[in-house]
Structure formats: structure tokens, C-alpha cells
Structure 1
Amino acid sequence: MNKKEFEVIIIGGSYAGLSAAMALGRSLRSVLIIDSGKPSNSTTPQAHNFITQDGVKPSAIAKKAKEQVLNYPSIKFIDDLAVEGKKTTYGFEILTQKNILVQAKKLIFATGIKDIMPNIKGFSACWGISVIHCPYCHGYEFKGQKTGIIANGNRAVHVASLVNNLTATISILTSGKNDFTIEQTEKLKKNNIEVIEAEISEIEHDNGYIKNVIFKNGEKMNFAAVYAAIPFEQHSEIPISLGCELTEEGHIQVDNFQKTSMEGVFACGDNSTMMRSVAIAVANGSVAGAMVNMELIQENF
């Protein structure tokens, strides 16, 4: 790659980043996509709740999207990891792991988030397969089957209310003392949702598909699927180093047009919303691309 200056650099080349790139490429914008090839849903067998792509493997969607986006000649793509970023008189400067230094007037972060796995044997091997995060993305495939929810408090009740429409057999696994209010406890009882406080030691599985949840007291329970609410961190620290503000939950703060608190910097996809799905990443990526193009127009027209 000889060119070092672009109108836009997109860091992250999965669904949101590629969607933003397409909007920009169709407006003849000079774009560089930097992607390290490590999407957070790499273990997920099928994407759902995405019209025209229901049941398609996520990697197949990304592969086709990349092929279509790179048909636009003003878009370039490099397999690399952005490691540093700073504000310059030109706009922004990005340094990659392979020691490539590039500049752009605008930045779009589509870097996703990194899930922090609990210290439970077998958990990470099942993540995205039968240990799942979202009823909209995965719930239908486990409808009517015995389901667990690893969570506590408000989060557990919220997930239980969603899953209750999909199956009549739900257990909340708090892995320690529950912290439900009296009202929440009554609501769970009314809906025949049991609460198990025994601490979890292992998830027994077959190639990522749960067989049993094993507790530290030696007991075990079989489930078809388990929802889990786990913490996360930003995949890239560059937005924070540039001055982008985060929400209380830890997402990059954006307005309705995907603009961050830092002038000239946008964010889209899982890094900036709790609504975590391929369809939503594609949607707000498209918005980010269009809004960056609009800023460039307003600055130059």
C-alpha cells in the first residue's frame, strides 16, 4: 500500500465497518479499512434476526460483504491491527502493529467489544453456541427447551422476562446469594422460574453444546442452553486515548448519528450500543458512513 493519506480510516472491518465503508465508497470517498480478523462472534454457528441472512454463518456474511465493499475502487483494506492514534493538523494519524503510519480527516471506530469470560471451566468453549447472550439472536433455536440464566438482580429478571416467552422451563443460576427484591422474587415465583444459588464450577459440553451445568457442591443440572450476562471491555483503547467519552455501561458514547464526543470521530457496532446483533451493526454502520460523508461535504462545499 503506497498511499498514506485518506479521507476516512475505518478501524474494524466486520459488519459495522464494512457497512460504513460501503456508504462512503458509493460517495467516492477515499477510505482505508484496518482489520485484524478477530470478530467477537467467530464461534457463533448462525446469524439470526437479520432479514435475507437468517441462518447464515456470520463469517460467510462478512466474507460476502467484504467482497462487495472492495468492488468500490476508492476503498482499501489491510489485515493489520491499529495500535496507536493521535490528533494532527491533517486530522488523525494511526499507527498499526506492522508499523504502517496512515492519516485521515475522519475516523470511524467499528472495533467491537471483548467479552470477559468468567472462571468457569467449559464456559468459553460454549460461548456463542449454547451459552448465549441474546434471546433475539439465539432464543428461537432453543424454544421449548430447558434453559438456564447465569445472572443476578435486575439483569437476571430482564432476561428471564424475555426468555419466558420462549420456554416454560427456566432456572436462574445466581452462583451465590441472590439479590432480588421482594417484588422480583414474587414475579419469578408467579412465572415458575426457579432460582439456584449454588456456585457453578463447570459447564460440561460436547463441542460447545451444553450437557450439564456442574455446581461446586457436586450437583449437576442439564440444560439445552444457558444465557449469560458477562462483563466486557472495549476491543480498542484508541478511542479512549483520543478523548472519546464512554457511557456508564462502558460503550463509546455516540449521538443519534454515531458521532462521538471527539470532533471528527465516529463509532458504530457493538462498541457503541448494547443492542448487539449483526443487523443493528450493519444499520448503524451505514448511518456512520453517511454522516461522515455529510461532514466532509459540509467542510468542502
Structure 2
Amino acid sequence: MKNKNNFDVIIVGGSYAGLSAAMALGRALRKVLIIDSGLPCNRYTPHSHNFITQDGEKPHKIAEKALDQVLKYDTVTIKKVLATTGKKTKNGFVIETEKGEDFEAKKLIFATGVKDILPKLEGFEECWGNTIIHCPYCHGYEVKNEKTGILANGEIAFHYARLIRNWTKDLTIFTNGKPSFSEEQHTKLVRHNISVIEKEVTSFNHKNGQLEQIIFKDNSMTEIKAIYTSPPFEQHCKIPETLGCELTEQGHLKVNEFCQTNIPNIFACGDATTPFRSVAFAVSAGNIAGAMLNHQLVEKEFEL
């Protein structure tokens, strides 16, 4: 193998969960390599919220400060490159990068996040993470009491309506087609003055990501300041699946309470493992993954 290096742990993904795991392992004197492609899940979002001590900070500023602190532990290094393949070996695992480099470790942590599959609607991507949002806990306070939409149908739309009504009563559901609510759900929406528009959506008018109108196929439009939606996603990195890691029905990496996957010596944490997508949750999960992985190492070493 060319450029082979051996580590206790390779962490694939160097955003909040990965860096949190790296800090726990660095403080445990473990030789750690972080491999990061530089595409965090929340790169579209201008500000991070609901993370104590960092509320309102720019996400990249949090990551830069975290990386600076992590790399002060001299057993931790980082490669800013895309990990492309992973293989099981006699002594652990080998991860190969897009540059053809091979790195070997006893154990792996995947903190690789998910990739949102954004609809091909004009203006959507420009507003995503700004005024087209997925989580009221992350973004709801900034658009409280504004004219707000929900771009969804059926159970997902109803769940959003029930939740978001806490932040605004000026709420409209855009089903982008025939509504699929139960009679009971429809009754509750009417009772709470939540209107439903089923016209097909074609685009969004905005200024620098700030929503102004939602545009329909019949060329009509509705003024709107924020829209909640939950686009489909896929795993950002396919290596865990090639190594045999199971996925949940929703498409997340399946882990236990200690961030262990079904494959021995492979851990996972952060957005790749949960629908609770927040910086605070990712940092917490990374800390658990790092500590529990180290716990496995010390147990094995003590038996030798």
C-alpha cells in the first residue's frame, strides 16, 4: 500500500460530530486521523442557533474554532480530502482517499452526515437553510409570527402544522397537489385556521435568500416569509454501507445508545444517524462515540 499510515482511530467526517469525537480521543492520548471533504450538512445556513454559548454564530466559525482546539492535541491530525473506499483487514480497516492514499486503523467513526436532495424549483436552493428551513428549534425564533408556509402533504404536513403553530398562527400548507389528510386531520386544520393550497409550486421569489413569494404553475403567487419543508436525503458517504453497516427504515445509520453500528469496531454519530439534526446534538453524539470507542480500546488493552 502506498502512503500507508497506522492509527488507533480514523474519523471520516470532520464537522461538529467528528471533531467532538476527535477531541475526546485526543484527550485519551489516541492516535487519530480525521478525513474530511469540507462539505458539512449545514453549509447553506448563515447562522447556527439553539447551541448554548454559540447561539447565532456562523457555522463555519464554530467549526474553525473547534478544529483549532482539536489539533492542539498532538496525537490528532487531519487530511482535507474525500474518503472514497473502506475495506476490512486482519487488524482493522483501511480507508482510501480520492488521492489514492491509504490509511489504516483499528476502529472507525463515521460522522459523515446526510445529503439533502433538494427539489429542482427555482429559488429553492438559494433560500435553503435561510428562509426555507426544516427545524423550528434551529430557525423558528428568527421567523416567529411571520407569514409562514409548510411545503408538504399528509402526515408530515400535519406534524409540521401542529408544531410550528407554536411559533406563528399565520400558517398555510402548500401540498403541491391533491391533499392527503385524514378527515380528523382536516377538521383540526380548519379549527386552527390553517389553510391548505393544493396548486402546483414552480418557484420562489426571493432577495439574497429572503423569501418574498411562492409562485404556482398557474402564475399566481402568495406572499410568504418562511417555509418549512423536509426534503428527502441520502447518506453523504456510502462507505459504511459497503462495510455492512445497517440503515434504519428512514435511511439513517443504525446505532445503539453508545453510537456503535452493527459492525464491530465501527461507530457512527451526528446527522448520519438521527433525524434530530442540530449542532448541539451532533457535538453530544460525537463526544459519546469518542468516549465509548476509547472504552473498548482500554478494555482490550487491559486484557493483554
Instruction: Determine if the TM-score, normalized by the shorter chain, exceeds 0.5.
Output: yes
Amino acid at match of 1:120: L
Kept in 1, the 8 Å contact 2:24–2:291? The answer is yes
Extract unaligned runs of 5+ from structure 1.
none
Q: Tell me if the contact between 2:245 and 2:262 (Cα under 8 Å) persists in the aligned partners.
A: yes
The whole-number CA distance in structure 2 between the counterparts of 1:171 and 1:61 is 34
Per the normalisation by structure 2, the TM-score is 0.98
1:1-301 to 2 correspondences below 5 Å = 4-301=5-302
Question: Counterparts of 2:276 and 2:170 in 1: how far apart (Å)?
Answer: 25
| Deviations, residues 161-210 of structure 1 (Å, cap 9, x unaligned) | 11101111000111001110001111111111111100100011111111
Return the alpha-carbon distance in structure 2 between the equivalents of residues 258 and 196 of structure 1.
42
Q: Secondary structure at the match of 2:7?
A: strand
Letter in 2 for 1:77: I
Q: Quick one: distance in 1 between partners of 2:230 and 2:136?
A: 12
Question: Matches of 1:196 and 1:7 in 2, distance apart?
Answer: 55
Q: CA deviation at 1:128?
A: 0.4
Whole-Å Cα distance in 1 between the matches of residues 279 and 192 of structure 2? 31
* Alpha-carbon distance in 1 for matches of 2:45, 2:209: 10
> Secondary structure of the equivalent of 2:292?
helix
**How far apart are residue 212 of structure 1 and its match?**
0.5
Q: Distance in 2 between matches of 1:218 and 1:181?
A: 29
CA distance in 2, matches of 1:291, 1:189: 49
* Partners of 1:186 and 1:214 in 2: CA distance: 27
Equivalenced residue count is: 301
C-alpha distance in 2 between matches for 1:83 and 1:158? 37
Between the aligned residues of both structures, percent identity stands at 55
SS in 2 for 1:290: helix
Deviation at 1:90, TM superposition (A): 1.1
Q: Give 1:211 deviation, angstroms.
A: 0.9
Q: CA deviation at 1:64?
A: 0.1
Runs of 4+ in 1 over 6 A off after TM superposition: none
CA deviation digits over 1:96-131, x for unaligned, max 9?
A: 001110000000000000000112111111100110
Deviation at residue 2 of structure 1 after TM alignment: 6.7
| Distance in 2 of aligned mates of 1:236 and 1:208 | 28
1:40 CA displacement: 1.8
Give the gaps of 5 or more residues in structure 2: none
Alignment partners' CA distance in 2, 1:151 and 1:160 = 10
Determine the C-alpha separation between the residues in 1 that align with 2:46 and 2:39.
15
Could you tell me the TM-score, scaled by structure 1's length? Answer: 0.99
The SS at the match of 1:294 is helix
**Alpha-carbon distance in structure 1 between the residues aligned to 2:183 and 2:121:** 29
1:128-153 CA distance string (max 9 Å, x none): 01100000000000001000000111
Deviation at 1:298, TM superposition (A): 1.2
Distance 1:43 1:229 in 2: 15
Cα distance in structure 2, aligned partners of 1:241 and 1:183: 44
- Paired letter, 1:266: F
Give the whole-Å Cα distance in 1 for the aligned partners of 2:292 and 2:107.
11
Deviation of residue 3 (structure 1)?
A: 6.5
**Whole-angstrom CA distance in 2 between matches of 1:262 and 1:222:** 50
CA contact (8 A) 2:3 2:101 kept: no
Q: What SS does structure 2 have at the residue aligned with 1:40?
A: coil
